[in-house]
Amino acid sequence: MDTQTPQTKPIKPAQRTLWIVLFILVVAAAAYGTYAILSGKVNTNGNGNANAVVNTNTTANSNKNVNAVVNSDDTIPVIQSTYSPEIKPSEIISIDNTWVQYTNYHLGFSIKLPKQIMTNYGGCEWNEAIASDGTEDHSYRPVNAMIPTSVFENSDTVYLVNSYSYQLKGRTDETVNGIDHSYFSDCIKIDTTLATLVQEDQYYQSNWKIEVKAINNNSELRQAIRDRYGSGCELGAMTQSKLGNGIYSISIEGDGKELNESECPVNYATELIYNEKKHIFVSWNLGQAQTFIKSFDPFEDFDSDMVESFKFL
């Protein structure tokens, strides 16, 4: 029996063009989807924000990662306040992709605040890396990430702070080859609250605690400094501020004793401003290093720009 070779039906030119167009559209859609995912344009939480997930773990235990969500540039810091309803509420206005202007009408000042800051505890990852001494890690370790900021208002105090952090839990200590090691079996997200801010242990929080006091004279100004910084502190130089006439930058004069014996244990930078006309004294601690880190480069920060932006209403 003769066999017939199957014949392929010729493709018409119009059909060929259609298939080529469809192929190009599929490739373009796949390319855009890949770009959107890599650039953080995919909404992963359904709230309208464009979010990217921090995940640097490459071990087999990647399912143990605790991921930090990096909010988009248009995230606006949240104000949480204990002020009574009859007080005019504070407001936050977006300036650009980086900054907002925070205005507190009750305490009479405004200051710029970054929408996000980099923190060392923005997430966690499970680590099983081998150290140079041959020990194998088996612990959660912190991950740097950009975290949205928040504002907390309580009476005459305002906190500018990261809105949450991740904390290592379940610590165990082991001695391997004569070297002490700490390991952590868990990592949890802790939202910043007023309760966490008033705790002495603020290791996970990057914050400025801005205090505003009503002051009528230099005697009350001296006492306000002692109340906050120690009974051995004295009112130092009062330098005319560029904020205007009658506004002074204040320095603290210590008691000259060693830090562990001093009644004025101030070994960090401070910002003290006295508005003589409005009888307002504003103070906050800048710390020994940068507080509001701008990026994954620890030497880039927002602190100086924030100080420069402070204004009385």
Q: Is residue 202 helix, strand or coil?
A: coil
Q: With CA atoms as reference, report the closest residue to 273 among 227, 229, 213.
A: 213
Query: Do residues 40 and 50 make contact, with C-beta atoms less than 8 angstroms apart?
Result: yes
Q: Does the predicted model carry a pTM greater than 0.85?
A: no
Is 60 exceeded by the pLDDT of residue 313? yes
Please give the distance of CA 44 from its chain centroid, rounded to a whole number. Answer: 21
Rounded to whole angstroms, the Cα distance separating 73 from 9 reads: 55
**Range with the poorest average pLDDT among 18-27, 119-128, 132-141:** 18-27
Which tokens hold the place of 13?
A: 């030119």
Is 80 exceeded by the pLDDT of residue 55? no
pLDDT at 107: 96
pLDDT > 90 fraction of the chain, expressed in percent and rounded: 52
Q: What is the mean pLDDT of the chain?
A: 78
**Range with the poorest average pLDDT among 153-167, 257-271, 286-300:** 286-300
